[in-house]
Structure 1
Amino acid sequence: MKLRALNILLLFPLLLQAQSIYTGGSGSPASIKFPMVITSPNNKLQLKLNYKTGDGLNYSFTANSKTMIVNSRLGVSGVGEPLPTRVSRHSVRSVWKPVWGKRALVPEYYNELTLDLKTYKVIFRAYNDGIAFKYISPKKSGISDLTQFNFSGNYTAWYYNGEHANIGPEKLADCDDKRLPVMTVKVDNNSYLAIHEADLSSGEPMVLQSKKGETLFSIASQPNDAWKVLMYGTKASELVDSHIIELLNPPSSKNMDYSWVKPGVAVWDWRIAGAQVGGFKYDMSLPSWKRMVDFAAANNIRYLALDADWYGPEFGKESDPLKGGKVAQVHEIICYGKSKNVGIWLYLNDVGGRQFPIEQTLKQYSDWGAAGIKYGFMSGTPAEKNERTRMITEVCAKNHLLCDFHDGPVHPYGQMRTFPNAVTREFCQAQLDGATVLEPRTFVTSVFVNMLAGPLDMNNGLADLNQKGRTHAPTYPTNTTLAAEAARTLITFSGVTVIPDIPENYNKHPEILQFIAAQKMPWLESKTIKGEIGEYIVMARQAADKTWLIGVATNENARELDIPLSFLKKGKYHVTIIQDGDNADYHTNNESYKVSQRNVETKDIIHVNLAPGGGACIILKQ
């Protein structure tokens, strides 16, 4: 009997997978009582709902007994007076196994409440790391979104700001304008929030707005069908590790095979153009591409990304993405890459994507054997861009193409769960694909703001920080150290980590190359060990071969950090530590670093010294 009981307990988590548990019924309007509460599975988060005839619905959000959002309106206008007619509840205890992501297994635990208001419905879901809600309305036009986020104090916030440094830190009451999510909020040292949206299958991406002197934010954009999400963590690092945005998206179609989706590192031809070494001058053509493929193959790097102008001037209306420019060379490099097990990405500008039939173009790229597309400079209103982005992602999925959207893309909203080929977006100030300098503090802000939305294409990982003689050389300094540059490639979550330098420069720094090449995806596990918005971050990821990698980055301030190894499984590990040199500084001595090795155990602590703008890279092998 004891053995049988033990077997049942061991099987119980498996029995819960993909299982919906009914936990409540419905009632007549007279039996529906307010306030109504929905709590997280661990009972630490609570959304309290109130209803008053004439005023409609409002809510308050509480976490760990602290109320952070109060008396905030819910609902949509233009559909008639809301009248609660039915309420139902159920719970889900499941496990999501993503094709790729931050970890191999993701618990999917939530409680759900559906409130029927006669003319529309509101669905609420409470997870352990946040609460979300969405409106289901049969009427799509002539309505307004009434949602409010009325914060209970004058907290500090940061916001997405396009291809510029994030807005913030800013006190809530100092905002007197529109703001774009992700909105990350520090309530106090033990409470952090973030506002975003998930599963934006159609409509305009969310825009927030507030008035100076207030701590209330409302919706300035048109209603859409997305989930509005309140992420929560007791530390900023917990927001980074959350999966709530992905989990609010539907799973990928069972009729689609995504086994071909392989995340990984990619070398890139845009920034190498003009570099000279040993009598060879790199450009964006076949001889250089072959050298890059050879380097990628030698270091188990999965891809080479070809950027703009390969089929003619990217903004030229006559540039044919199937017949123009260096198309013959592209055919050859795709074949050459296949012989070396290196996939080739192709750039496609929105001009070419519209001047020529997009479905035909993408199918042809697939028939050629391309691995993915980088889509640039999409035009249109935010709603139109969202619709086109989703269409292109779906067409790419049917043609076994990965996709990366650049140049002011629609924000990620967890679609990698539905379309695992949606591997990254330039939803940030990219380090080497923008026009302005990326400050150290911007990087360690973006990971707590932009990266909460999904995978980012930031183009970190230079091995030569001077970048002299490059055709597309930045007109600004690279504000990192070499150790921080390499660390950023790990810290930045992405399904394709695009590195921007030539093979010879990486070969000068074998330990740094080892760290980048060791980033074998998909990740088995990820954990943000510690960090603070705009200050620093310590990120650990376990590669597909079970090697643990840790990336550390700081802002403009030098700092010393202790990194506990208690997150590792018990045992002995050989550690390689790459950290800033004793006199390193991102302004004056940015290529100085030192390497040390030793054996450690899980009870040990690794101490690192970070230079201003610096970082550290750590490799742990059993």
Structure 2
Amino acid sequence: MRYYLLLLFQIYICILAFVVTGCSSSLVSNTVKSPDGKLEFTIYKSEKGEPVYAFKANNKQLINNSSLGIKFKNNNVLTITECSIEETNERQVRDIWKPVWGKRAIVNDHFNEKTFTISSTAVDGLEKLLVVVRVYNDGVAFRYEIPTGNSKLEREPMECTTYNFADDYTAWSYNGEEHNIGPEKLTDSNGERLPVVTIKADDHNYMALHEAYLQEGEPLRLFSKKGEIAYSVISTPGKLHPNYSSAWRVIMYGTTPGTLVDSHLVELLNPEPDPKYDFSWVKPGIALWDWRMNGAEIDGFRYEMSYPSWVRAVDFAAEQGFAYLVLDANWYGPEFATDSDPINGDKANDVRRLIEYGKQKGVGIWLYLNDVGGKQYPIEETLKQYSKWGAVGVKYGFMTGTQEEKNKWTQTVTRLCAENHLLVDYHDNPVHPYGQMRTWPNAVTREYCHAQLDGYHVFVPETFCTSVFVNMLAGPLDMNNGMFDLRPGKTTRVDCNLPVPSTVTSEAARTLITFSGVTILPDIPEYYKKYPELLRFISAQKMPWVESKTLAGEIGEYIVMMRQTQEAWLIGAVTNELARTVEIPLSFLPKGKFIAQITKDGEDAHYFVNRESYQSVEESVDCNTVLKLELAAGGGACVLIQEK
């Protein structure tokens, strides 16, 4: 009897296993996993017949059933009750990307991809929609594609994408020229939110919402409703057409906030450059900037935005091995005057002389341009002339129009700059970066951040410690870091003469931490020379980087960044308004003995008072060393490690 009971029990288990397997088979076939198997993105049909997805990491559910698809404004929703989902294509990619410049010299491009066809017989809906899903080890991305054969595309579309989180997580989001929004609980969030939205699920699970490869349609906007734990996409996808592709909807993932910072997911979702373009001329580097120098007085000399001051800056840049000098507004006349000619303006002859002088010194000159000069005069001829003069870059400011129009114009200006071998930096509320630096390596930075010298009214140390975990996830930033004139009270600067709430060591460290293809220094040469150890630290930042790694950090609190050059390893650490001690293992070093120049806040340093107090020592270190750095309130530390 016991034998038969045991046999019946085994048969029951086999039947149960068959039933469970059969019930979940559709989910298995509709699941895409990361190459390491730790991330899972599943797409399937809901009880209402609509396409939905879910996301989990390390067996933890992070996003519950969330809507997918496109609908029209008459609310005839794609796949409302007649949805069918079919897997139509699958591939695995195990490649590498060698960027012209970036956070590291070699990037793994590893992902698993599936394409799903969603078919519908819904009245006035799309007949077919493709959903392409890619899962990397550090996040997932999906986009919508419309194949040929769809006949009902004339009406205005809306996107159905939602992010229905598994719990009431904590979020931070971009906020233009103000301090970032957050930290806020998802249930407290109410209204529009702009990317990047960085989310902390718990101490071991972090996400960030953004987009990549936006070719048409409105840049991403999200909406949240108070009391709920979800975001909805409210940006419009643009006019649909056969072979339409939406931007990638990106969910970055990491077990620490630093892994988000180190990710290349957004760039990898953009294509390689068109082979007809040769970008070998693109050189990242450090630049001086005449705008914040203007009005500074030192040893009887007053800096102005004029030829004598420019020459002085070029000489200093050449001494330090800095690559560039950026000339800001008004060099060709009042920047918003319609008769200010960007080729024949009042200082054009001085600028041409300066460019030739810079060539002799090995320093390239950037020229300012905005929408008034860029559209009042033919942009093609203007950029071609700048290239003929020998300028190396364009700082483009104050773009006008809707966000969709600005994105198209940004694409046009970037392409024209590439054709004329000009680097480009977009300022003044630009469209968010979405990985363009892979396709267009000349797009080296943009002011998609709360620039500290423009935002003195709210910029505090916490602002920086938040922006690097939010804004910087979108791409390279121009944030005005590196101000060394930190005297209390108003200065003699013409623009923004209020003091910066920071310490001098923190300012130097921020120049390393902030990822950018051109690090633009705002101060005059004499103030950098006043702090030789910190100047040495900045001058040692020889891009492109061989390697970068966020060693530690918490959103809004502190960050420790390591970047490696061909000759050295550099570490920058900064904190918010709270003093703290950080311990930094140097396990990234190879075997051998090295010399570390450690420059940190003085014992009496503080971002309100004693901003310029610092101390510097040299120590012998190796890969087993653990550095212990005391950071003052609002302060930082800089470490330069070289071979003995």
Normalising by structure 1, what TM-score?
Answer: 0.93
Which residue of structure 2 aligns with residue 509 of structure 1? 531
For the pair 1:485 / 2:507, whether they are aligned, the reply is: yes
Which of 211, 214, 221 aligns to 1:197? It is 211
Q: What percentage of aligned pairs have identical amino acids?
A: 56
Amino acid at match of 2:173: Y
Post-superposition shift, 1:86?
A: 4.6
Which of 157, 172, 176 aligns to 2:190? It is 176
Which residue of structure 2 aligns with residue 218 of structure 1? 232
Which of 275, 284, 291 aligns to 1:263? It is 284
Amino acid at match of 1:536: Y
Which residue of structure 1 aligns with residue 111 of structure 2? 110
Which residue of structure 2 aligns with residue 33 of structure 1? 26
Contact 1:437 1:478 in 2 (8 A): no
The one-character-per-residue Cα deviations of 1:426-447 (angstroms, maximum 9, x if unpaired) are 0000012446341100100000
Distance verdict in 2 for CA 1:476–1:288, change over 3 Å: closer
> What is the alpha-carbon distance in structure 1 between the residues aligned to residue 521 and residue 179 of structure 2?
21
Which residue of structure 1 aligns with residue 49 of structure 2? 55
Post-superposition shift, 1:469?
A: 4.1
Q: How does 1:318-333 map to 2 (within 5 A)?
A: 318-333=339-354
Which residue of structure 1 aligns with residue 307 of structure 2? 286
Which of 520, 531, 538 aligns to 1:498? It is 520
> What is the alpha-carbon distance in structure 1 between the residues aligned to residue 269 and residue 338 of structure 2?
39
Contact 2:69 2:78 in 1 (8 A): no
> What is the alpha-carbon distance in structure 2 between the residues aligned to residue 359 and residue 269 of structure 1?
26
The one-character-per-residue Cα deviations of 1:399-437 (angstroms, maximum 9, x if unpaired) are 100000001000000010000001001000001244634
> What is the alpha-carbon distance in structure 1 between the residues aligned to residue 635 and residue 154 of structure 2?
50
> What is the alpha-carbon distance in structure 2 between the residues aligned to residue 174 and residue 141 of structure 1?
35
**What secondary structure does 1:538 align onto?**
strand
Which residue of structure 2 aligns with residue 444 of structure 1? 465
For the pair 1:239 / 2:260, whether they are aligned, the reply is: yes
Amino acid at match of 1:135: Y
Which residue of structure 1 aligns with residue 11 of structure 2? none
> What is the alpha-carbon distance in structure 2 between the residues aligned to residue 556 and residue 507 of structure 1?
27
**What secondary structure does 1:47 align onto?**
strand
Distance verdict in 2 for CA 1:376–1:140, change over 3 Å: farther
Which residue of structure 1 aligns with residue 136 of structure 2? 127
> What is the alpha-carbon distance in structure 2 between the residues aligned to residue 351 and residue 141 of structure 1?
34
Post-superposition shift, 1:575?
A: 0.2
Contact 1:271 1:470 in 2 (8 A): no
Distance verdict in 2 for CA 1:358–1:299, change over 3 Å: same
Q: Which moved more, 1:140-149 or 1:337-346?
A: 140-149
**What secondary structure does 1:416 align onto?**
helix
Post-superposition shift, 1:515?
A: 0.6
> What is the alpha-carbon distance in structure 2 between the residues aligned to residue 361 and residue 156 of structure 1?
47
Post-superposition shift, 1:332?
A: 0.5
Which residue of structure 2 aligns with residue 583 of structure 1? 604
> What is the alpha-carbon distance in structure 1 between the residues aligned to residue 278 and residue 381 of structure 2?
21
Which of 350, 369, 376 aligns to 2:371? It is 350
**What secondary structure does 2:437 align onto?**
coil
Post-superposition shift, 1:473?
A: 4.0
* Runs of 4+ off more than 6 Å: none
The one-character-per-residue Cα deviations of 1:169-216 (angstroms, maximum 9, x if unpaired) are 000000111100100000000010000000112221110001110001
**What secondary structure does 2:333 align onto?**
coil
Amino acid at match of 1:152: A
Contact 2:206 2:256 in 1 (8 A): yes
Which residue of structure 1 aligns with residue 406 of structure 2? 385
> What is the alpha-carbon distance in structure 2 between the residues aligned to residue 275 and residue 551 of structure 1?
28
Contact 1:265 1:498 in 2 (8 A): yes
Distance verdict in 2 for CA 1:435–1:599, change over 3 Å: closer
> What is the alpha-carbon distance in structure 1 between the residues aligned to residue 485 and residue 493 of structure 2?
15
> What is the alpha-carbon distance in structure 1 between the residues aligned to residue 154 and residue 204 of structure 2?
40
> What is the alpha-carbon distance in structure 2 between the residues aligned to residue 233 and residue 115 of structure 1?
26
**What secondary structure does 2:85 align onto?**
coil
> What is the alpha-carbon distance in structure 1 between the residues aligned to residue 615 and residue 389 of structure 2?
44
Which of 467, 472, 479 aligns to 1:458? It is 479
> What is the alpha-carbon distance in structure 2 between the residues aligned to residue 245 and residue 80 of structure 1?
28
Distance verdict in 2 for CA 1:75–1:246, change over 3 Å: same
Q: Which moved more, 1:177-186 or 1:76-85?
A: 76-85
**What secondary structure does 1:120 align onto?**
strand
The one-character-per-residue Cα deviations of 1:439-464 (angstroms, maximum 9, x if unpaired) are 10010000000000000000111121
> What is the alpha-carbon distance in structure 1 between the residues aligned to residue 528 and residue 301 of structure 2?
16
> What is the alpha-carbon distance in structure 1 between the residues aligned to residue 297 and residue 233 of structure 2?
52
Which residue of structure 2 aligns with residue 96 of structure 1? 97
Which of 541, 546, 551 aligns to 2:563? It is 541
> What is the alpha-carbon distance in structure 1 between the residues aligned to residue 513 and residue 393 of structure 2?
23
Q: Which moved more, 1:217-226 or 1:380-389?
A: 217-226
Distance verdict in 2 for CA 1:512–1:336, change over 3 Å: same
Post-superposition shift, 1:49?
A: 1.4
The one-character-per-residue Cα deviations of 1:530-553 (angstroms, maximum 9, x if unpaired) are 00000000000012x331100000
Amino acid at match of 2:287: A
- For the aligned residues, what is the CA RMSD? 1.5
**What secondary structure does 2:172 align onto?**
strand
Contact 1:203 1:387 in 2 (8 A): no
Distance verdict in 2 for CA 1:611–1:53, change over 3 Å: closer
Contact 1:183 1:196 in 2 (8 A): yes
Which residue of structure 1 aligns with residue 156 of structure 2? 142
Normalising by structure 2, what TM-score?
Answer: 0.90
> What is the alpha-carbon distance in structure 2 between the residues aligned to residue 112 and residue 141 of structure 1?
30
Contact 2:216 2:237 in 1 (8 A): no
Which residue of structure 1 aligns with residue 60 of structure 2? 66
Contact 1:437 1:476 in 2 (8 A): no
For the pair 1:524 / 2:546, whether they are aligned, the reply is: yes
Amino acid at match of 1:240: V
Distance verdict in 2 for CA 1:435–1:551, change over 3 Å: closer
> What is the alpha-carbon distance in structure 1 between the residues aligned to residue 420 and residue 166 of structure 2?
49
Contact 1:461 1:485 in 2 (8 A): yes
Which residue of structure 1 aligns with residue 13 of structure 2? none
Contact 2:218 2:403 in 1 (8 A): yes
The one-character-per-residue Cα deviations of 1:474-515 (angstroms, maximum 9, x if unpaired) are 254311100000000000000000001111111111111101
> What is the alpha-carbon distance in structure 2 between the residues aligned to residue 33 and residue 469 of structure 1?
67
Post-superposition shift, 1:141?
A: 5.1
Which of 562, 587, 603 aligns to 2:583? It is 562
Post-superposition shift, 1:570?
A: 1.7
The one-character-per-residue Cα deviations of 1:295-342 (angstroms, maximum 9, x if unpaired) are 000000000000000000001111000101200000000000000010
> What is the alpha-carbon distance in structure 1 between the residues aligned to residue 155 and residue 97 of structure 2?
35
Post-superposition shift, 1:140?
A: 7.6
The one-character-per-residue Cα deviations of 1:225-260 (angstroms, maximum 9, x if unpaired) are 210000000000000000000000000111111011
> What is the alpha-carbon distance in structure 2 between the residues aligned to residue 343 and residue 352 of structure 1?
22
Post-superposition shift, 1:593?
A: 0.2
Which structure is larger by alpha-carbon Rg, 1 or 2?
A: 2
Amino acid at match of 1:151: F
Q: Which moved more, 1:475-484 or 1:395-404?
A: 475-484
Post-superposition shift, 1:32?
A: 9.4
Contact 2:456 2:500 in 1 (8 A): no
> What is the alpha-carbon distance in structure 1 between the residues aligned to residue 146 and residue 595 of structure 2?
57
Amino acid at match of 2:162: Q
